């Protein structure tokens, strides 16, 4: 078996038994990147020398008796997470050349257990997009079909995992940006409960919605990555003080008596027939394992999309005000004075989608419109959360498609922002409600992966992962490696 094709837990076993070394494993993955990333463009930058130095240190730590499932395992980091000494651009011209002096807490925690960090993956600019076409540095392509998008905004991380250009990766999820690309690329992607993983060092898009999540080749790897980076962080006032469970111990494959809710509002007209059929087959798998499948209702689902696209841009307009060309990042070279610097820098530094969302958000927050738009959206957000609370009183998890379709063609939706936004119609409700959800592969249509979403109550990641793992093991849906 090629080393780059290993899962995280397989690689951990090989390393523990002395079948390979971290240096050899890292060299194999770097070689894979060199071989295929010219076509996929999953990475914005790699750090091969630093990665090999980390791998050598991991081998020394293991030889000294240290053990951890991630020790010596090569991972990738979405380029919205700060990495000390490594350029962090958020896929934007306005941060080109920015090298942060500190790392995100999630990154530091991976480094602490000895993970090897390969480099930074491509992203829609400031994580604003559903296709990774909004990156200032060019789009990422779906490894299963290079004419298709990998999803977004964590498309670079999802594509890197699918193409075996890393063994796992970190992404961020504000409205589906881990789960939607996971579905499009045929990998596993988890959005944790809001507050489960520290947001310190994650460059903010919408602070009340953002969460860091893992993208992996299977559910076991997902549990291992989450376990390593979750937990309270005094540097993030929104991080939870709840203890972190041993998530991997919840993966027993036993779901007899588990109550699975299927929301009638998610099985809607316009969903690709193959997606609907794959979800129905998956529900039959759970029934065969002894789970109870019931219908539930989330009646305010139809308002989730407009609610999200009022609240997220409002927060973005505030968060992105800091990019003024004065303190760090890009500054327009021909600007004459402060206000001219501000206008020119933001005009040239931000892309069209980011500008669109800043304008939407500023309008929603402006005098005379705040009550009509922003305040009303916050009230509807509460109703959406209450829908989930009521549904999860009747069931343990909610199951639905991750996306209404398989991956669409590059350029197919760039001229119609609303059509692009609809790609996240099944995912963004979870961010509004702050709940955890995982996307897992459940089949394919015309060679393109289909994703299935398992949703749980707040801090119920153990239940979500247990249900996902049981399906994964029973259905045997492992799509393998694209023929690149």
Q: Tell me the torsion sign for CA atoms 159, 162, 164, 166.
A: positive
Res 276: pLDDT = 95
The mean pLDDT value of the chain amounts to 96
CB-side neighbour CA atoms (13 Å) of 159: 36
Q: What angle do CA 303, 306, 311 make, to 5 degrees?
A: 115
Structure tokens at 170: 């970190």
Strand partners, 214: 170
Mean pLDDT of 43-47: 98
pLDDT of residue 181 exceeding 80, the answer is yes
Confidence of residue 163 (pLDDT cuts 50, 70, 90): very high
Q: Is 46 helix (H, G, I), strand (E, B) or coil?
A: strand
Burial class from Cβ neighbours inside 10 Å (0-12, 13-18, 19+) for residue 98 reads middle
Strand-pair category, 116-121 with 188-191: unpaired
Least confident of 116-125, 127-136, 366-375, 429-438: 366-375
Among residues 22, 131, 153, 317, the one annotated as catalytic is 153
Nearest to 106 by CA among 174, 196, 188: 196
Among residues 22, 92, 131, 177, the one annotated as catalytic is 177
Tell me if residue 177 is catalytic: yes
Confidence of residue 331 (pLDDT cuts 50, 70, 90): confident
Cα–Cα distance, 168 to 188 (Å, whole number)? 10
Task: Give the DSSP per-residue string, 77-100.
Answer: EETTB-BTTB---TT-GGGTT---
pLDDT tens figures, 332-380: 888 888 888 888 999 999 999 999 999 999 999 998 899 999 999 999 9
Tell me if residue 153 is catalytic: yes
Cα–Cα distance, 134 to 112 (Å, whole number)? 33
Tell me if residue 355 is catalytic: no
pLDDT of residue 477 exceeding 80, the answer is no
Separation in Å, CA 320 to CA 104, 173, 228, 350, 358: 18, 17, 30, 10, 8
Mean pLDDT of 62-73: 98
Among residues 22, 78, 103, 130, the one annotated as catalytic is 78
Confidence of residue 191 (pLDDT cuts 50, 70, 90): very high
Across 188-214, b (16+ Cβ under 10 Å) vs e yields bbbbbbbbbbbbbbbbbbbebbbbbbb
Res 334: pLDDT = 85
Domain 3-256: give its CATH superfamily.
Answer: Amidase signature (AS) domain (3.90.1300.10)
Res 476: pLDDT = 84
Res 342: pLDDT = 86
């Amino acid at each position: 078996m090629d080393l780059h094709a290993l899962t995280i837990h397989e690689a951990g076993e090989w390393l523990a038994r002395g079948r390979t070394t971290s240096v050899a494993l890292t060299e194999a993955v770097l070689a894979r990147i060199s071989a295929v990333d010219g076509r996929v463009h999953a990475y914005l930058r790699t750090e091969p020398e630093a990665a090999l130095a980390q791998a050598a240190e991991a081998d020394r730590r293991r030889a000294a008796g240290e053990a951890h499932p991630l020790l010596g395992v090569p991972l990738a980091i979405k380029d919205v997470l700060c990495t000390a000494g490594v350029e962090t651009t958020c896929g934007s011209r306005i941060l080109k050349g920015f090298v942060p002096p500190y790392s995100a807490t999630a990154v530091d925690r991976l480094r602490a257990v000895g993970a090897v960090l390969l480099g930074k993956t491509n992203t829609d600019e400031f994580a604003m997009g559903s296709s990774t076409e909004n990156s200032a540095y060019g789009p990422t392509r779906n490894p299963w079909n290079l004419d298709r998008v990998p999803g977004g905004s964590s498309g670079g991380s999802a594509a890197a995992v699918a193409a075996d250009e890393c063994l796992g990766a970190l992404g961020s999820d504000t409205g589906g940006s881990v789960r939607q690309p996971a579905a499009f690329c045929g990998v596993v992607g988890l959005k944790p409960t809001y507050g489960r993983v520290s947001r310190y060092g994650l460059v903010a898009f919408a602070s009340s919605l953002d969460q860091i999540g893992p993208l992996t080749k299977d559910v076991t790897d997902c549990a291992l990555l989450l376990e390593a980076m979750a937990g309270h962080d005094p540097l993030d006032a929104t991080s939870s003080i709840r203890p972190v469970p041993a998530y991997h111990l919840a993966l027993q494959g036993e779901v007899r008596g588990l109550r699975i809710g299927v929301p009638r509002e998610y099985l809607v007209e316009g969903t690709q027939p193959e997606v609907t059929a794959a979800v129905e087959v998956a529900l039959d798998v759970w029934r065969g394992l002894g789970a109870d499948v019931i219908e539930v209702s989330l009646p305010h689902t139809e308002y989730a999309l407009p609610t999200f696209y009022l609240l997220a841009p409002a927060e973005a307009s505030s968060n992105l005000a800091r990019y003024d060309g004065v303190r760090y990042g890009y500054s327009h070279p021909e600007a004459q004075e402060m206000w001219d610097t501000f206008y020119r820098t933001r005009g040239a530094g931000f892309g069209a989608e980011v500008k669109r969302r800043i304008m939407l958000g500023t309008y929603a927050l402006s005098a005379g419109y705040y009550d009509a738009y922003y305040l009303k959206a916050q009230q509807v957000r509460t109703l959406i959360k209450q829908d989930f609370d009521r549904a999860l009183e009747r069931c343990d998890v909610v199951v639905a498609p991750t996306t209404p379709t398989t991956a669409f063609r590059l350029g197919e939706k760039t001229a119609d922002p609303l059509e692009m936004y609809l790609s996240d119609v099944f995912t963004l409700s979870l961010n509004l409600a702050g709940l955890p959800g995982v996307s897992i592969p459940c089949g394919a249509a015309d060679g393109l992966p289909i994703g299935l979403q398992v949703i749980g109550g707040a801090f119920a990641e153990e239940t979500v992962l247990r249900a996902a793992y049981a399906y994964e093991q029973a259905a045997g849906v492992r799509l393998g490696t694209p023929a690149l």
